[in-house]
Amino acid sequence: MIGPLIGGFLVQHASWRWIFYINLPLGLFALLVIGAVFHSSNKRSQHQIDWLGAIYLSMALLCIILFTSEGGSVHAWNDPQLWCILAFGIVGIIGFMYEERIAIEPIIPLALFRNRSFLLCSLIGFVIGMSLFGSVTFLPLYLQVVKEATPTEAGLQLIPLMGGLLLTSIISGRIISRTGKYRLFPILGTLLGVTGMVLLTRITIHSPLWQLYLFTGVLGAGLGLVMQVLVLAVQNAMPAQMYGVATSGVTLFRSIGGSIGVALFGAVFTHVLQSNLQQLLPEGAVLPPGMNPVAVQHLPADIRLDYLDAFGAAIHAAFLMAAGIMAVAFVLSWLLKEAPLKTATH
């Protein structure tokens, strides 16, 4: 919940690089705590890390992200170099699938995909990750460019999103513990997610902040109903010895969706922004290179208004696309089946 606030503070008062640097002391602290508190059994097993599978997966993700992020911006869509990147990504996917079939200890055993719950939860997580991370990354940018907020203020103004997520996560968890029923929550959560995204398409450069708080609160409430339940549904459908790989698999697909979503939405946002700038800016007007929120605030008044109009259209396109993708998750959530909730005795 405090992540966006801390991130904004670091960007404003230190450097964006500290978003990554801060993980070093935090990771070291976590490692020390685990070493001091966690005591595993004396039984040890030798494991074979699937290095080749990891290489294939990294290759596939890197190429797909490069394809979606550079297409239409760095490279034209008809550039052979761009399609070569995609071809390498496809080779990586094929290589990963083959390696997972023959690896002694694969990263993701392909047999997992024969389990209906794992397959559906992975797909839903992938779609939600793409829609959520691909679009919500533009909210701090909107607050800084349009509302002239500092990075710290932008992080603070995302608290309704995180608050809604935290609140409904707690409430849904308590209800599931009492009733043993969980299928309804992904349906309601994705429905609220679609609603939140549709509401965010109505955000303009003139919208008051209370609208943004309300709409992001609705989106966060939806995410809180579905995120943890996907993990629960998978664990409930798997034998205990498969909990680790199944849980990490669902989380991995959500992260993959988020990575691809950020690149894809960034490409769409940039394309719409540039197209509108060409139409709105007066002939001969030139924007300074490396536009950022501070540079926008120092543009001449008439050019700044044109830029904000183009920016608003690009934000609208991003959230409209996110709503459509989230609707796919809503449809998929109806395919989940209720199963008796496992107890500690299992």
Q: Give the residue carrying structure tokens 């107890």.
A: 343
Is residue 135 within 8 Å of residue 127, measured between CB atoms? no
Same domain, 237 and 328: yes
Same domain, 95 and 193: no
For residue 346, tell me if it sits in a domain. no
- Mean pLDDT across the stretch 98-125? 87
CA dist 200 and 210 (Å) reads: 12
Same domain, 74 and 218: no
H helices of 238-300, where?
Answer: 243-280, 293-297
What confidence score (pLDDT) does residue 177 get?
86
Q: Which of 33-37, 181-185, 195-199 has the highest mean pLDDT?
A: 195-199
pLDDT band at 42 (very low <50, low <70, confident <90, very high): low
Helix (H) or strand (E) holding 59: helix 51-70
Does residue 80 surpass a pLDDT of 60?
Answer: yes
Cβ atoms within 10 Å of 4's Cβ, excluding its own = 21
| Domain span at 79 | 48-104
For residue 288, tell me if it sits in a domain. yes
Does residue 40 surpass a pLDDT of 70?
Answer: no
What confidence score (pLDDT) does residue 79 get?
84
Tally of domains in the chain: 2
CA dist 108 and 99 (Å) reads: 10
Does residue 193 surpass a pLDDT of 90?
Answer: yes
- Mean pLDDT across the stretch 133-144? 86
User: In this structure, what DSSP letter does residue 110 have?
Assistant: G
User: Cα dist. 187→191, 195, 236, 334 in Å?
Assistant: 6, 12, 18, 6
Does residue 219 surpass a pLDDT of 90?
Answer: yes
Same domain, 185 and 238: yes
Q: Provide the phi-psi class of 284: left if phi over 0, else alpha when psi is between -120 and 50, else beta.
A: left
Is residue 330 within 8 Å of residue 191, measured between CB atoms? yes
Does residue 1 surpass a pLDDT of 70?
Answer: no
Q: What pLDDT digit, counting tens, does each position of 308-320 carry?
A: 888 889 999 999 9
Q: What pLDDT digit, counting tens, does each position of 85-98 carry?
A: 999 999 999 999 99
Q: What pLDDT digit, counting tens, does each position of 254-308 carry?
A: 988 888 888 888 888 888 888 888 888 777 677 766 666 767 777 788 888 888 8
Same domain, 55 and 175: no
Q: What pLDDT digit, counting tens, does each position of 221-234 carry?
A: 999 999 888 888 88
Does residue 39 surpass a pLDDT of 90?
Answer: no
For residue 22, tell me if it sits in a domain. no
Same domain, 183 and 206: yes
